[in-house]
A and B are shown apart, each in its own frame.
Chain A
Amino acid sequence: MKHDRPRRKARGVGIYALLALFSLSALFPIYMVVSNSFKLKKFIFGSPFSLPDAHTFSLIGYQTVFARSNLTLNFLNSGIVTLVSLFFILLLGSMAAYALSEYKFKLNRFLGFYLAIGIMIPIRLGTVGILRLMAALGLVNSLLGLILIYIAQGLPMTVFILSNFMSQVPDELKQAARIDGASEYRIYSFVLPLVRPALGAIGIFTMIPIWNDLWFPLIVAPSARTATITLGVQQFLGQFVSDWNAVLSSLTMAMVPIIILYLVFSGQMIKSITAGAMKS
């Protein structure tokens, strides 16, 4: 066995070298944008690879962004849309998932299948119909319209995953509560905290596409008043395409909040995916 050791060591180094190489390629474009957003224009072109220092540092791009864009309002819109949608996706989704996993009734299998259609068929394909519906309801250029679309978009996956998790909650617990005379609503409120890890993972995974979406803001709510951050940045970039400082700064501003959020939750997020996989 002894002669194996150098070979195994070499392989270990190889693995880390490969991982480091791919990680660098994942980080490099992000690094280029963030670091150059803090430089004078001359140095964005003169020394693009170096970090900003006292000599090259500048906030001129950020000043342009704050003076000329609506990014603050865009952030606020995205925050409202994402959080409100998320709240209702988790609330309504967990209620439906609870009913589907807990009660045996005639339409159970049909409803489960019906709600699962949206997992595979993207909601975008119904855009022509959605825009007509929004016009009929007077919800064009409103955050409420976006929120309703995103709730519909997020529910299928949420119901599907949560009903799997909820069916693993032991029956004795619920039966005991029932014997004590607890109402069905109360039992739901007992079960909900037991699937909290799943709620967390689903929360992050439904939140990211909503925050990042370009399609529905562009089509259903393109007005300056309702533009989300993704749409706002897209339009700002179009207008300021030749102002490199402003472009790099707005990209950085749009990126940094989601990266921070991701770094804070990534451990938990991946842990809950893998935990889900272990169970099934």
Chain B
Amino acid sequence: MLDVSRSRRFPFYLVVFILPATAIYSLFMILPLFDSLRLSFFTTTQDNRELWNGLANYRALLFNDNYAPRFWGALKNNLFFFAINMVVQNPIALLLAALLAGKGRGKDFFRTILFMPTVLSVVIIGFIWQLILSPLWGVAPGMMRAVGLGSLFKPWLGLPQTALITVSLISVWQFIGIPMILFYTALIGIPDELIEAAVVDGCNSWRIFWKIKFPLIIPTLGVVTILTFVGNFNAFDLIYTMKGALAGPDFSTDIMGTLFYRTFFGQQLQLGNPTMGATVATMMFLTILAGVLTYMFLWQRRVQSYQL
């Protein structure tokens, strides 16, 4: 590194290198974020003036009969969505990564295929699954009938009891490639000598995986968890594509992202409200921030002390 803090001439090139990126990032990301946080403490009058509103928006969102059921419902659904992603997606991703990381021909081929759904747009994926699960087309019921489970078929996406878990599993199906690749990268990064030493000591693959490999990829597990958390609490496209802004049936698939969109832009009977939208966004911000800080200060520190 070149120390320019004491150079005689002002390092003008430093400004040229850093300013454009910092300016665009500040203007279109940081500034609007602060503007949103600020707006959550205001309300707009009919002639579009901003009025200080203190914490009234938050009180309305958390306790008022118009907003509170939707907010708590969306938060609960979002936690469920996250839980399904954690307990279904990440173990399967770890399994696939372990299978791919082993020696053998043709692994590149499978890796390419398994990652493919991840690169497609959520809109496409959502619609495809809607078609596959549609009783009208009959693909899913037909396949279930073929294996003798025909009577178990239900229009899962349309029933309030099953819609959310169905949508969650579709999200798992699409995004499993990301944790898979992260685990895979961590697994193939483990030095061969460690494994060879264990083989010489007579360990079988199962023991090697849990006693040597798994502890070494725990940091990756942390990264995967926080990425899943941020991604899930920021999700919107899948629900919007499959169930619309109203996240039906009966708000059973409503998550923070769809609630934010509806509050900001309005829906059939309710007008859009930017300041209430900003309030929902701030609650999402606080949720995500809490997750990120927990990860940074609790998880990372503990993992580090383990490694020492």
Residues of A within 8 A of B (CB): 12, 15-16, 18-20, 22-23, 25-27, 29-30, 32-33, 44-45, 48-49, 88, 92-93, 95-96, 98-106, 111, 114-115, 117-118, 120-133, 148-149, 151-153, 155-156, 159, 167, 174, 183-185, 188, 208, 211-212, 214-215, 219, 230, 233-234, 237, 244, 247-248, 251, 254-255, 258-259, 262-263, 266-267, 270, 273-274, 277-278
The A interface is mostly helix, strand or loop, or mixed, namely helix
Do residues B14 and A30 form an inter-chain contact, with CB atoms below 8 A? no
Do residues A247 and B131 form an inter-chain contact, with CB atoms below 8 A? yes
Contact of A128 with B264 at beta-carbon distance under 8 Å, contacts A29-B128, A95-B21 already known: yes
How close is A66's CB to chain B, nearest CB, in angstroms? 19
Residues of B within 8 A of A278 (CB): 189
Residues of B within 8 A of A215 (CB): 236-237
Residues of B within 8 A of A118 (CB): 25, 29-30
| Residue from the list B20, B114, B236 in contact with A23, Cβ < 8 A | B114
Q: How long is the Cα–Cα vector from A48 to B142 in the complex, in angstroms?
A: 10
B69 CB within 8 Å of chain A:
no
Residues of A within 8 A of B137 (CB): 44-45, 48, 244
Which residue of B has the minimal Cβ distance to A91?
B20
Q: How long is the Cα–Cα vector from A27 to B2 in the complex, in angstroms?
A: 51
Contact of A266 with B112 at beta-carbon distance under 8 Å, contacts A117-B30, A123-B29, A129-B32 already known: yes
How close is A91's CB to chain B, nearest CB, in angstroms? 8
B119 CB within 8 Å of chain A:
yes
Residues of B within 8 A of A88 (CB): 24
How close is A278's CB to chain B, nearest CB, in angstroms? 6
How close is A21's CB to chain B, nearest CB, in angstroms? 10
Do residues A121 and B285 form an inter-chain contact, with CB atoms below 8 A? yes
Q: How long is the Cα–Cα vector from A240 to B90 in the complex, in angstroms?
A: 36
B153 CB within 8 Å of chain A:
no
Contact of A22 with B2 at beta-carbon distance under 8 Å, contacts A122-B230, A152-B24, A277-B189 already known: no
